[in-house]
């Protein structure tokens, strides 16, 4: 039997992934990463459910304490980003440096295993012509998580398995019930793990960043209101500004240096292009010339036509066919050819 380490969060998706591989004859070892510090965090319930799933399947269960790594790579990363006026995307960072990387390292060094699996909705395909592993969207477009996986290296893709990539969520729930898994009816996670454990992103940030009152201004510098910290806002935000105006106003800039939140109408929040850094070319090697693609600038944003211009130092310039609203520094831009992830990176500050 081929040995595989399955990352178990205690949710229904990872539980079904483990059950599928176990029923296919794999020698499954469950692995749960202990991520968050503090009593009563969401990891506690997840670890218990993961252990019970492994007991039900009759497979070993390992727990690896990487709370210090999560604190440095995710918590500190988020706090630092918000403090300087960007809106970081923790999930892609977490997948590469906190989850997949440590899982593969532990599997290889401690368990003599070179295959890992997770409950992500995405697909991997090997292209014999190019010799590269390709990352593709899941069959279930509503659950597709390829956007968050763009930063995985060829090495990580080469040893990863996504058993749910060809399923939709209805299939997953049905299979969980058929396997009689404890997690079959467990509610879906609706937000970031840090948000769910703290109640809101605001509550999480307030634990680390002190209030810092400042002005809310329009694009001419006219003061329209007050804020209690730029870290409480994000580009494109409309609700919760506390400003009475004859037209809808949106956050179009977070000026952390001058402690100002700049607002304007929707037309002032659009850009024709942006620069992306920390680029990872996934399904193709870095091209020498500009390419055409479709890009998502947020997880739930619709893909739009774009010209991707390679630059030096793992950077690209994205030139949109039509100006885009709410391009947010710190978020990921991921470009596709059909269902295939070509590459992605982090949007720079303008």
Q: What is the pairing mode between strands 270-281 and 260-264?
A: unpaired
Specify the long-range contacts of residues 139-144, CB closer than 8 Å, at least 24 apart. Answer: 139/165, 139/166, 139/167, 139/168, 140/167, 140/168, 140/169, 142/168, 142/169, 143/168, 143/169
Q: Which of the following is catalytic: 91, 159, 193, 274?
A: 193
Look up residue 21 and give its two tokens: 């591989």
3-state secondary structure of 225: strand
Q: State how far the Cα of 91 lies from the Cα of 266, in Å rounded to an integer.
A: 28
CB 321 within 8 A of CB 305: yes
CB 201 within 8 A of CB 192: yes
The DSSP H or E segment spanning 30 is strand 27-34
The answer to whether residue 193 is catalytic is yes
The answer to whether residue 43 is catalytic is no
Look up residue 14 and give its two tokens: 């990872």
Q: Which of the following is catalytic: 54, 94, 113, 159?
A: 94
Longest dimension (CA), the chain: 69
Of 213, 178, 257, which is closest to residue 16 (Cα–Cα)? 178
Residue 23: count other Cβ atoms within 10 Å of its Cβ: 12
Q: State how far the Cα of 214 lies from the Cα of 79, in Å rounded to an integer.
A: 19
Burial of 176 (0-12, 13-18, 19+ CB in 10 A): buried
Q: State how far the Cα of 275 lies from the Cα of 346, in Å rounded to an integer.
A: 9
CA distances from 124 to 119, 121, 138, 158, 200 (A): 13, 10, 9, 9, 33
174: left (phi over 0), alpha (psi -120 to 50) or beta: alpha
Catalytic residue annotation: 94, 193
């Amino acid at each position: 039997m081929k040995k595989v380490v399955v990352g178990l969060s205690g949710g229904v998706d990872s539980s079904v992934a483990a059950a599928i591989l176990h029923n296919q004859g794999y020698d499954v070892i469950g692995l749960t990463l202990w991520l968050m510090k503090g009593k009563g965090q969401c990891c506690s319930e997840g670890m218990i459910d993961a252990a019970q799933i492994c007991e039900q399947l009759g497979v070993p269960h390992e727990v690896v304490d990487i709370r210090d790594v999560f604190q440095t790579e995710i918590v500190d990363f988020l706090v630092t980003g918000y403090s300087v006026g960007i809106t970081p995307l923790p999930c892609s960072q977490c997948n590469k440096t906190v989850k997949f990387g440590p899982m593969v390292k532990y599997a290889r060094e401690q368990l003599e295993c070179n295959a890992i699996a997770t409950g992500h909705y995405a697909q991997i395909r090997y292209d014999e012509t190019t010799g590269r592993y390709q990352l593709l969207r899941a069959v279930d477009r509503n659950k597709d998580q390829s956007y968050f996986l763009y930063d995985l290296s060829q090495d990580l893709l080469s040893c990863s398995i996504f058993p749910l990539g060809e399923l939709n969520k209805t299939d997953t729930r049905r299979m969980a019930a058929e396997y009689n898994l404890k997690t079959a009816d467990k509610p879906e996670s609706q937000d970031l793990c840090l948000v769910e454990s703290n109640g809101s992103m605001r509550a999480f940030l307030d634990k680390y960043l002190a209030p810092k009152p400042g002005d809310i201004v329009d694009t001419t510098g006219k003061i329209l209101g007050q804020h209690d910290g730029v870290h409480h806002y994000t580009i494109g935000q409309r609700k919760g500004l506390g400003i009475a105006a004859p037209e809808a106003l949106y956050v179009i800039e977070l000026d952390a240096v001058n402690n100002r939140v700049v607002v304007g109408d929707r037309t002032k929040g659009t850009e024709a292009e942006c620069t992306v850094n920390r680029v990872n070319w996934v399904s193709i090697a870095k091209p020498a010339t500009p390419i055409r693609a479709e890009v998502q600038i947020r997880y739930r944003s619709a893909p739009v036509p774009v010209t991707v211009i390679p630059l030096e130092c793992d950077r690209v310039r994205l030139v949109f066919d039509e100006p885009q609203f709410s391009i947010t520094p710190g978020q990921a831009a991921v470009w596709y050819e059909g269902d295939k992830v070509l590459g992605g990176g982090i949007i720079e500050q303008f």
